[in-house]
Amino acid sequence: MDSSPRSSITGKVKRTPWWMKSLTGWSYVIFEMLFQKMQARHLKNPLPLPPLHDVTCIVTGSTSGIGLETARQLAVSGAHVVMAVRNQSAAHDLIMKWQDERHGTSLLSVEVMELNLLSLASVVSFARAWNLRSKPLQVLINNAGIFSMGEPQKFSEDGYETHLQVNFLAPALLSVLLLPSIIKGSPSRIINVNSILHYMGFVDTDDMNFTSGKEKFNSAKAYSSSKLAQVMFNSVLQKRLPPEAGTSVLCVSPGTVHTNVARDLPKLVQAAYNLIPLFLFSAQEGSRSALYAATAPEIPEYCKALKADEWPTCAYISHDCRPTRAAIEAHNTRAANEVWEKTLDMIGLPLDAVEKMIQGEEVMCKYRDS
């Protein structure tokens, strides 16, 4: 299915002007912010979770905000949680705090592993260390992300624009490299914390780094485009995984959440952001869509049904824990396949990496750890 408008002369997908996409995207954010609590009024806070004693979960970016709440609630429900973070000291402090809050009841099963998404070699090292354990992984939650609003363009040590790498490239590499453990943990789930702002994104596979000069860089473009690319890539990943892999791939929107993402906003915007807590989700409320995707028993069948119906995108769960439709650009299967191929090249994997891993073959990444 490819419903994107095309030029009758060139056959290329017509791109909506940025100012129009920006207006549309921010209007979605405002609408979501104003009405999200009403739309999610059927949900309890915190979201009740089933016992998870035989479940292992990796949660990236779990020392603050949504990731912190996600990791904490999974651990309290009995899961073995791996906090994949840069700041290991902060993670260990959190574990001690969570344990103290339990007043001597059973110990939480939580461990900390170093992961720096600004380094693809760090991602390779993390995945290699985990896979060497030969243990099943039931849930991977790609939660970590950045939105450096108003900041100048920055690049990672790998040469990629930082929103692109942290929000998309590094999680994509992590998901693919962990497939041996994820498939071993079947039925398993790969969950990507996305954003309503993906509706205003666009992906130019010839200029994903915003360096050609075709598009003037700004952080909103970079953030929204990284989130759209995430949906497109994971839609192809879901299709490439055979039914016997038993793995569900989803994107979730947490809603408009009061988290420390505001630390990167201009001071004036931070002030306005802090004046509207009545409308914003708390981090605990914002974690509900990821927790629902990670634990709800109906998720595997829902994902199977979408795949059987040849739905063009992976499952997308909204902030109210209900299925919703991803941006129309993500429904362009030809563009999604172009994003898939370009991404694998950028993260240093062969085009048949997923197929080789499913067959149990070793796959080399050019960003391999030393």
The residues annotated with a catalytic role in the active site are 223
Q: Is 82 helix (H, G, I), strand (E, B) or coil?
A: strand
Cis peptide before 187 (omega within 30 of 0): yes
Show contacts of 85-88: CB within 8 Å, 24+ apart. Answer: 85/60, 85/61, 85/112, 85/113, 85/114, 85/115, 86/114, 86/115, 86/116, 86/117, 87/63, 88/112, 88/114
Q: Report whether 260 contacts 235 (CB < 8 A).
A: no
H or E, element range at 129: helix 120-131
Q: Token digits for 64?
A: 């603050």
CA 6, chain centre distance (Å): 29
Closest CA to 240 of 171, 314, 181: 314
- Structure tokens belonging to residue 119: 């380094």
What are the tokens at 331? Answer: 């429904």
**CB count, 10 Å around CB of 76?**
18
Q: What are the b/e assignments for 213-242, b being 16+ CB within 10 Å? A: eebeebbbbbbbbbbbbbbbbbbbbbbbbe
**Helix (H) or strand (E) segment spanning residue 114:** strand 110-114
> What is the end-to-end Cα distance of the chain in Å, rounded?
43
Reduce the DSSP state of residue 192 to 3 states and report it.
strand
Query: Beta strand 139-142 with 188-193: parallel, antiparallel or unpaired?
Result: parallel
- Distance (Å, whole) CA 333 – CA 312: 6
